[in-house]
Amino acid sequence: MADRRRINGPVGTTNPPIYDDAPEKQSEGVKVTRSRPANVIRKMYLKTGVTPSASGSAYLEIESSGNGGSGLKLSCSVHGPRALPRSTPFSPHIILSTHVKFAPFATKQRRGYIRDPIERDLGTHLETALRGSIIADRWPKSGVDIIISIVEGEQDRETSKAQGIEAWDTMNALSGCITVASVALADAGIDCVDTVAGGVAALVQDAGNDAAPSIVVDPIPSEHEKVLAACCIAYLPTRQEVTNLWFKGDLPASDMDVYTQLIEKGIQASKSANRVLVDCLNETVG
């Protein structure tokens, strides 16, 4: 429901500030390139129980790129399972409702308080990813709300001018959302078949060498010349199953191998994130 009583700031009428020093820096050739190996994800910090009033909550922070930008900071709270209001029809399963919202100050372009299509889309993806992992028939007639606020989006101060990068950033945001929501669900004590975690892999073209494009795990779009394709995967490691797959890009149909490799790398990234997740949960229990 749109909140009409709130007075929002102007939408899309101002250009984001651009700092003068950027072109100089680029001409010096100090453009940050990827320093991690191709199959290593960034360090992340994960903590449960940050919101005492919620039945489960978690906080995730992903290391920022070395470019003076900000890393991803997510906070998730889970409310429920709780009885559905009387007016809703009978449901034999738990009803998930996911809410993903960027804070107005999370990205360079200010976001309003009303969720825009990208945020709603992220919410749908997240719901698909989680519904596969939850054992939904243990809670008939009940609902659970999963609310994620992205406190700080992944943004590079210098390269955000480049167009089209934001589209790839949403993939990283989604994978973070999946991981943090999975931890929060576990913290809330909701039965799952397995802990699901998100992972991103991308097919990138690097600036220097005009050789064949390579596949990297957990990409930072600004570190590469061009992102050709990317995929975000939600993976259940013990069952070896994928609950959500989102691929985007432009791949010729003739090389399906690249697509398969991309998916495999995405699964690998998800497995790495899952290790952090399991450690975090062990810490909570122990």
Residue numbers at the binding site for other proteins (CB under 8 A):
2, 15, 18, 91-93, 117-118, 120-121, 123-125, 127-128, 131-133, 135-137, 161-164, 167, 193-194, 231, 234-236, 239-253, 256, 259-260, 263, 267
State the helix-helix crossing angle for 256-285 and 165-187, rounded to 10 degrees.
Answer: 40
* Residue 212: CB minimum distance to other proteins, A: 18
Closer residue to other proteins (CB): 63 or 249: 249
Closer residue to other proteins (CB): 55 or 160: 160
Phi, psi of 70 (to 5 degrees): -110, 150
State the helix-helix crossing angle for 165-187 and 117-131, rounded to 10 degrees.
Answer: 40
Phi, psi of 149 (to 5 degrees): -115, 130
Buried b (16+ CB within 10 A) or exposed e, 112-144: eeebeebbeebbebbbbbbbbbbebeebeebbb
Q: Parallel, antiparallel, or unpaired: how do β-strands 142-152 and 95-102 relate?
A: parallel
* Residue 114: CB minimum distance to other proteins, A: 9
Tokens representing residue 1 in the block: 């429901």
Closer residue to other proteins (CB): 253 or 285: 253
* Residue 78: CB minimum distance to other proteins, A: 18
List, edge to edge, every strand of the sheet that includes 197-205. 214-217, 197-205, 226-236
Closer residue to other proteins (CB): 63 or 225: 225
Tokens representing residue 72 in the block: 């991803």
Closer residue to other proteins (CB): 69 or 71: 69
* Residue 35: CB minimum distance to other proteins, A: 26
* Residue 188: CB minimum distance to other proteins, A: 19
